[in-house]
Amino acid sequence: MRRYDLDWLRVIVFGLLIFYHVGMFFVAPDWEWHIKNNITYEWIKYPMLFLNQWRLPILFVISGMGTSYALSKRTAIQFAFERTKKLLLPLIFGMLVIVPPQVYLEKFSKGMIEGSYFDFWPSHAFVGTYPVGNLSWHHLWFIPYLLLFSLVLIPVFIFLRNNPNNFILRTTAKISSTRFGLYWFIVPLYLIEAFVEPFFKETHALVGDWFVLINSITLFFFGFLLISVKETFWKTVEANRKTYIKCGIIGFTLLMLITTVFEDSYVRHFTEALIKVFSFWSWILTLFGYASKYLNKPSKILVYCNEAVYPFYILHQTITVILGYYLMNSQSNSFLKFSIMSIGTFLLSWMIYEFLIRRWFLIRPLFGLHNTKKISEPEFLHQSSRSVL
């Protein structure tokens, strides 16, 4: 069954990513980012912490759900080939063309390099790996992780698809049928948060990034499981969405209280880990519940946005960094800068997508889009259900 609410959630969450990265330009210096405004603010980290707790986890869950659609009518080899084409090609193109301006402006603004951009690219842009060198995937780190998870879990997903009455799916259906049964999913998330996170700093470098790898592949797998039990999951989250949002509010409030009042200790760590996973899982269930209630309906706007979201994701941070570079030392007030960067990122991303990517058939595959001259609405809706993001 088509789930339009998943498409809406994907579009909304990636839209929030633009505001989040603009916020990184203004937040206090202890939140490291590529460039910073001449005036930063401590208080911005609180709304960003709220977004940060569930923003990436829900994307991995949604991606796992999308994988179920993509694999439903494909062999393992067909799925692996399509997923590699749609993820690896945009990643390589992004690392060669989209990301280098971010690296250049960051290092140029800090006095680490000299000369024009074309002195930097291509002669120095691919020498060494960032941050010591210059080659990086920056914000595109989500793509190689998603590709890895998709390929590694193919045997498991094929088994689950071909054996719908297996123990794992029967258990998932059972715990998904009750209001608080869905909270059993936080048990492995808590163990990862409590016993893996302290030993592995989040790097997004893939190699050695064990906490992010284990945590993210678990969420990705959960997404596949939840979509596989079909209406059992959706009926539960929709019916109990008000309970979940209350749990989310309580969880995030307690999390902020613990992190700001109590000093670091073993007791605080294990307590914080439990409340953290309880909080973000509650918000994920909340979002699924409200989306199921109000967003599970077709829309021409959704058709357009669902195709545009992948190119927007690839483009947006480079545009944000470029705008930020020219505004960082301006004496304009921060609200004006925030508005220019947010609106400018959306507008420029849309212009590049609409007038270049969407219409140029040789460019479309570089941004993960089908290379077809014309897609009718019903056909596109069918294709978008297999979105890689």
Residue 108 in any domain: the answer is no
Burial class (CB in 10 A: 0-12, 13-18, 19+), 125: buried
Residue 79 in any domain: the answer is yes
Would you say residue 386 has pLDDT above 50? no
What is the span of the domain harbouring residue 375?
Answer: 4-99+137-384
Residue 130 in any domain: the answer is no
Contacts of residue 279, Cβ cutoff 8 Å, sequence gap at least 6: 53, 247, 248, 251, 252, 254, 255
As for how many domains the chain has, the answer is: 1
Tokens of 375: 């897609």
Instruction: Please state which of the ranges 176-180, 182-186, 383-387 shows the lowest mean pLDDT.
Output: 383-387
Residue 122 in any domain: the answer is no
**Side-chain half-sphere of 245: how many Cα atoms within 13 Å?**
11
Would you call 128 helix, strand, or coil by DSSP?
coil
pTM for the whole structure: 0.94
Q: Residue 371: what pLDDT?
A: 80
Q: What are phi and psi of 269, to 5 degrees?
A: -60, -50
Q: How many CB atoms lie within 10 A of CB 40?
A: 16
pLDDT in tens, 90-149: 999 999 999 999 999 999 999 999 999 999 999 999 999 999 999 999 999 999 999 999
Residue 322 in any domain: the answer is yes
Residue 173 in any domain: the answer is yes
| Per-residue pLDDT band at 73 (split at 50, 70, 90) | confident
Residue 334 in any domain: the answer is yes
pLDDT in tens, 332-343: 999 999 999 999
Residue 254 in any domain: the answer is yes
Rg, Å, the chain Cα set: 21
Q: What is the mean pLDDT of residues 163-167?
A: 94
